[in-house]
């Protein structure tokens, strides 16, 4: 028995039509009659023939797929439930509009190297600074893109949340409770921070914290700042180190819920009561935060909505429709059981 893969010529011979008619049946069915198309499809099914997807993309000049350009390795991304919520929103729009979604993590630790290998019509660019090479490369290639949690780029749609306002609100809440020994668990900004300062959402959150501190005659020098990768394990490790220091905080302000979960894990292991001895706050309001014990006080950002807007804006750009302006989504403080006045 031959294991040769069936071709469009085989289908044409079996159906008694031309090769062009086979192409029309799969790519442009209105060019042939319904009866002819049904005969071709039946022959294709008997022979086990399916069109080459790469060939179809090359002929159509489109992939009907959008890429999500990720700033970190895929293993780290999948560990963070934030991205599952974001991708849920983007996926809802893709389902409605007939697009597939391709995750594009760094290639050999380079996001720039990953761009040419992604067969997509456009990119949702997550958490990259506007002056990085990736944004310039997408502009040079004429590839539509939408920036998420980045700085604004003229002519490019973008979506972010009010990071500064959210960070200000949660910091001021802790200060109003009476906390003055604060620790901040921040996501690691990378090596470039020493040269250029904080960027994007992290810069805005730090500014919000500084705003609230200034209202109480304090500065960032009055808080303990720890920068770690955004994983639960790193939140745990950083909190163990904080509590072993000479001036343990009465409140830990984590800039992501994931880091806050790790902080609570460490405190509970150390037999330190949350919140009566140490209060803990997060940022995101992931689904787990409502049933985590103690239930987490956090800043809610509309993650699913952000994902939906990102996909909607990108598909509009791919289709050449009217471009959307820069969009800032609001945040809100959700007070639960992980915070109280200092002892």
CA dist., res. 188 & res. 2, Å (int)? 57
Q: Lowest-pLDDT range, 19-33, 213-227, 255-269, 271-285?
A: 19-33
Judge if 244 and 278 occupy the same domain.
Answer: yes
Do 150 and 119 belong to one domain?
yes
Q: Provide mean pLDDT across the span 331-340.
A: 98
Pair 92, 198 in one domain: no
- Residue 343 falls inside a structural domain: no
Please indicate, yes or no, whether residues 78 and 18 belong to a single structural domain of this protein.
no
Structural domain contains residue 210: yes
| Residue 297 is assigned to a structural domain of this protein | yes
Tokens of 297: 């006080």
CATH number for 33: 1.10.260.40
274 lies in some domain? yes
For residue 340, being part of any structural domain is answered with: no
283, with CB counted inside 10 A (0-12, 13-18, 19+), is buried
CA 224 to chain centre: 28
Q: Does residue 275 have a cis peptide bond before it, meaning omega lies within 30 degrees of 0?
A: yes
Give the DSSP letter of residue 184: E
Q: What is the domain range of residue 95?
A: 65-161+303-329
Q: Is the pLDDT of residue 82 over 70?
A: yes
Name which of 51-55, 108-112, 332-336 the model is least confident about. Answer: 51-55
Average pLDDT, whole number, for the chain? Answer: 89
Kindly tell me the burial class for residue 343, based on how many C-beta atoms sit within 10 Å of its own C-beta (0-12, 13-18, 19 or more): exposed
Residue 1 in this model has a pLDDT that exceeds 50: no
Q: Do 117 and 133 have their domain in common?
A: yes
User: Does 337 map to a domain?
Assistant: no
pLDDT of 252 reads 98
Q: Are 282 and 260 in contact (CB under 8 A)?
A: yes
Q: Report the pLDDT value the prediction gives residue 110, as an integer from 0 to 100.
A: 83
Cβ pair 331, 166 in contact under 8 A? yes
pLDDT greater than 60 at residue 54: no
Instruction: Report the distance separating Cα 253 and Cα 235, nearest Å.
Output: 11
Give the integer Cα–Cα distance in Å for 165 and 299.
Answer: 10
Task: Examine the domain organization and report whether 85 and 12 are in the same domain.
Answer: no
- Residue 37 and residue 41: Cα distance in Å, rounded? 6
List, for residues 131-180, the tens digit of each pLDDT value.
677 888 888 888 899 999 887 777 788 999 999 999 999 999 999 999 99
Note the pLDDT of residue 194.
47
Same domain, 171 and 290: yes
Same structural domain for residues 93 and 119? yes
Q: How far is CA 311 from CA 62, 92, 126, 306, 326, in A?
A: 16, 9, 12, 9, 14
- CATH number of the domain residue 143 falls in: 3.40.50.2300
Tell me, yes or no, whether 186 lies in a domain.
Answer: yes
How many CB atoms lie under 10 A from the CB of residue 290? 12
Token pair, residue 1, equals 């028995």
Tell which residue, 18, 2, 10, has the closest CA to residue 46.
Answer: 10
According to the model, what pLDDT value does residue 57 have? 53
Q: Are residues 136 and 25 in the same domain?
A: no
Question: Is residue 262 located within the same domain as residue 284?
Answer: yes
Number of structural domains the chain divides into: 3
Residues 297, 308 within the same domain: no
Residues 195 and 297 in one domain: yes
- pLDDT bin (cut points 50, 70, 90) of residue 287 is very high
Please check whether residue 312 lies inside any domain of the structure.
Answer: yes
**C-beta separation of 6 from 42 below 8 A:** no
């Amino acid at each position: 028995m031959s294991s040769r893969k069936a071709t469009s010529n085989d289908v044409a011979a079996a159906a008694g039509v031309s090769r062009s008619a086979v192409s029309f049946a799969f790519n442009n069915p209105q060019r042939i009659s319904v009866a002819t198309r049904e005969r071709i499809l039946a022959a294709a099914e008997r022979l086990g023939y399916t069109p080459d997807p790469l060939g179809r993309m090359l002929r159509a000049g489109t992939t009907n797929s959008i890429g999500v350009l990720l700033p970190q390795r895929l293993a780290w991304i999948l560990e963070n439930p934030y991205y599952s919520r974001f991708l849920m929103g983007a996926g809802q729009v893709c389902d409605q509009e007939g697009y597939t979604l391709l995750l594009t993590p760094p290639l050999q630790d380079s996001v720039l190297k990953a761009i040419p290998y992604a067969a997509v019509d456009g990119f949702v660019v997550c958490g990259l600074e506007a002056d990085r090479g990736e944004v310039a490369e997408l502009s040079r290639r004429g590839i539509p893109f939408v920036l998420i949690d980045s700085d604004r780029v003229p002519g490019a749609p973008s979506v972010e949340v009010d990071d500064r306002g959210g960070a200000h609100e949660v910091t001021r809440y802790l200060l109003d409770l009476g906390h003055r020994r604060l620790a901040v668990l921040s996501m690691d900004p990378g090596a470039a921070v020493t040269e250029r300062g904080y960027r994007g959402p992290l810069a805005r959150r730090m500014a919000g914290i500084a705003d609230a501190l200034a209202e109480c005659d304090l500065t960032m020098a009055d808080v303990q700042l720890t920068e770690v990768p955004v994983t639960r394990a790193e939140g745990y490790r950083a909190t163990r180190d904080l509590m072993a220091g000479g001036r343990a905080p009465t409140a830990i302000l984590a800039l992501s819920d994931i880091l806050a979960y790790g902080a609570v894990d460490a405190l509970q292991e150390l037999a330190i009561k949350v919140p009566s001895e140490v209060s803990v706050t997060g940022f995101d309001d992931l689904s787990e935060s409502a049933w985590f014990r103690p239930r987490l006080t956090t800043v809610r950002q509309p993650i699913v909505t952000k994902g939906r807007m990102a996909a909607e804006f990108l598909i509009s750009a791919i289709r050449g429709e009217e471009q959307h302006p820069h969009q800032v989504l609001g945040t809100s403080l959700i007070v639960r059981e992980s915070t109280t006045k200092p002892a």
